[in-house]
Amino acid sequence: MFNLTSRISNWISKCQPIRQVTVLITGLSKAGKTSTVRAILRVPLEEKEEPEECVHTELRVDNFLVTVLEGGGASAAPEAWRHHCCEAHGIIFVVDSSDRTRAEEAKNLLAGKPILVLANKQDKRNAMLGNELIEILSLEKLISQSQSLCHVEPCSALLDMRRCSDRKTMLGLRWLLRAVLLDYHKFCARVAQDCRQTVNSEEGERKKHKKAERGLSKCKEAKKVNTCKTRRYCKQKAQAKEKRTTEKNTGDKLRPTGNILDKENTINMIKRKKQRVKMRKNVKRRPGCKEEEEAEERGMETGPEQKEEGHSYALLPGDSMRSKRKPKRVNETFLESTENSKRKKGKKEKEKKNMTTVIKKNKINSAESRVYIRPGSSCYSGPQKMASPRTITIVALSFALGLFFVFMGTIKLTPRLSKDAYSEMKRAYKSYAKALPGLKKMGITSVLLRKIIGTLELGCGVVLTLVPGRPKDMANFLLLLVMLAVLFFHQLVGDPLKRYAHALVFGILLTCRLLIARQNEERPERDESRQQHVNAQEKNKVKVS
Ligand SMILES: Nc1nc2c(ncn2[C@@H]2O[C@H](COP(=O)(O)OP(=O)(O)OP(=O)(O)O)[C@@H](O)[C@H]2O)c(=O)[nH]1
Ligand SMILES: [Mg+2]
């Protein structure tokens, strides 16, 4: 039966065409990229392996002919990374989960196309959890901006390579391939377009840079005459011009992904600078308000996020700040600035609303987010969207078997469904009890035996039909034992095959289901201490959405 099921699923998959998919494995240096490729291939890592710029590996996974491009560390060759990115249908981003300091660095390198984030080195004690990485890499923000699918797979390439774990790396790769398959033709068109455009844009960019530099040099000349404000304006104008021409060249939707973050950073910088100019104006108009000036200065010294906060504090005073110190004199300019701030606040709220709707559309999968992201949270969508034939088989078997045993259990317990079947059961169980005198000695009558088996069948049937996860397997196992007992009873009283054929068939089906479920099980290979560690971290977790 098991062979039949696997043959059917093989046959279904053979009917599908073979697709060529290129996947780029990238990440920071020493994150475990080579180890991941080796883990997928199940080839041990050779010592002292010289890192090459890009390694091509071809493999066949189900109906995919996968070309794995292994890029060097992103910090080593960002240009090469960008180049390979355009060839790829999907990206595997390997992160060293045990290295918190470099996770920030990794954040800046993710953009566009389906992204599989392999949270590698989970075997290390200080490894970050999937949820933590989603937060640190700002994946939600990135995904809402780049409109791409994302999945975080905690893994250990080392353990996979040593065949000590359940091939999380391969599991992740399978997710990526399914994600590519969701929009295969779109990604193929995108790859072709990106490759064409990278060649053009590289040349175009060189020219643009020269232009921008020329524009800046003009500004420098103007500096002698003009004020600081005009210098900024010139720079912004040159940068905006550069941006416009790039957009024209690349198109809005199909721009090379490597550029996105850089451009957005530039735009944000320009915005921030504009805001600073406005802020200074307001501050100048309010004599005696040195605190804001100081706050602004502080904002300029801190990191980009803090800078943003600094801005909102200066332009949109927070409630706490307002309560701490009231403005001594409410003059016209201040009202103007508060009006500005209100408008900006409204705008920000609008943006926030947009952001949340986008987040709902673009969801992140994470194996650990099943545990850590709040139930009903917007950032988790299970893998059910891309169910494999194996998953479909399990679900179908669970449902069919569950309903059958609910029916059989009910028949044994009550005559409401079928009086004939109920009386037949009564008669059969009386004969079983007679054939087993030991049962009577134990105080188990035929009625009790029938009710025990009926209740077990009903309960396990309900679990098999309705309850997800591990209890299903337990119910499956119990039902298998019940079926063995029933077969034993039939043999004991010498029933002909036709009387116990159903028990035989359903026993085989239960065995098949259990085998497939065990094979497909995606539980990480963690010991109890790891689970405790996970639980402890769950308590301290920061909400993600
Ligand atoms: N503990 C642990 N160590 C790992 C794991 N995966 C890789 N490593 C180690 O991390 C180091 C770097 O692994 P590589 O696979 O060479 O990393 P890489 O990203 O290819 O490095 P570069 O090509 O130099 O950028 C090696 O010493 C590996 O043994 C893992 O899952 N667990
Ligand atoms: Mg390497």
140 versus 262: the higher-pLDDT residue is 140
- Which one-letter amino acid corresponds to residue 517? A
Measured CA to CA, the distance from residue 327 to residue 512 in angstroms comes to: 75
Q: Does residue 168 have its Cβ closer than 6 Å to ligand 1?
A: no
Asked if 212 contacts 187 with a C-beta cutoff of 8 angstroms, the reply is no
Average of per-residue pLDDT across 469-475:
86
The protein residue with its alpha carbon nearest to ligand 1, atom 32, reads 121
CATH number given to 18-182: 3.40.50.300
pLDDT at 459 over 90: yes
Q: Is 156 in the pocket of ligand 1 (CB under 6 A)?
A: yes
Ligand 1 midpoint to CA 210 (Å): 40
Most confident of 27-41, 136-150, 255-269, 339-353: 27-41
More confident residue, 5 or 167: 167
Q: Which is nearest to 79 in space by CA: 109, 34, 36?
A: 109
The per-residue pLDDT for 72 is 61
Whose Cα sits closest to atom 25 in ligand 1?
29
Binding residues for GTP: 27-34, 73, 120-123
Mean pLDDT of the chain: 67
Average pLDDT over residues 43-70: 77
Is any ligand 1 atom within 6 A of the Cβ of residue 131? no
What does the alpha-carbon distance between residue 339 and residue 282 come to, in Å, rounded to a whole number?
12
Lowest mean pLDDT among 130-144, 159-173, 301-315: 301-315
Mean pLDDT in residue range 200-224: 65
Confidence of residue 53 (pLDDT cuts 50, 70, 90): low
Binding residues for Mg(2+) are: 34
Find the 269 Cα to ligand 1 centroid distance in Å.
35
Q: Looking at the predicted structure, is the pLDDT value of residue 500 above 60?
A: yes
pLDDT the model gives residue 219 = 52
Please give the ipTM for the structure prediction: 0.97
Instruction: Compute CA distances 115 → 92, 118, 306, 362, 483, whole Å.
Output: 6, 9, 28, 12, 46
Measure 52 CA to ligand 1 centroid, in angstroms: 14
Give 157 Cα–ligand 1 centroid separation in angstroms.
8
Domain ranges of the chain: 18-182, 207-281, 387-520
Q: What is the reported pLDDT for 202?
A: 64
Burial class (CB in 10 A: 0-12, 13-18, 19+), 389: middle
Mean pLDDT computed over 219-236: 48
pLDDT digits (tens, 9 = 90+) for 348-386: 555 544 443 333 344 455 544 332 222 233 333 333 345
At 332 the pLDDT is 36
pLDDT band at 404 (very low <50, low <70, confident <90, very high): very high
Give the residue, 56 or 265, on which the prediction is more confident. Answer: 56
pLDDT at 255 over 50: no
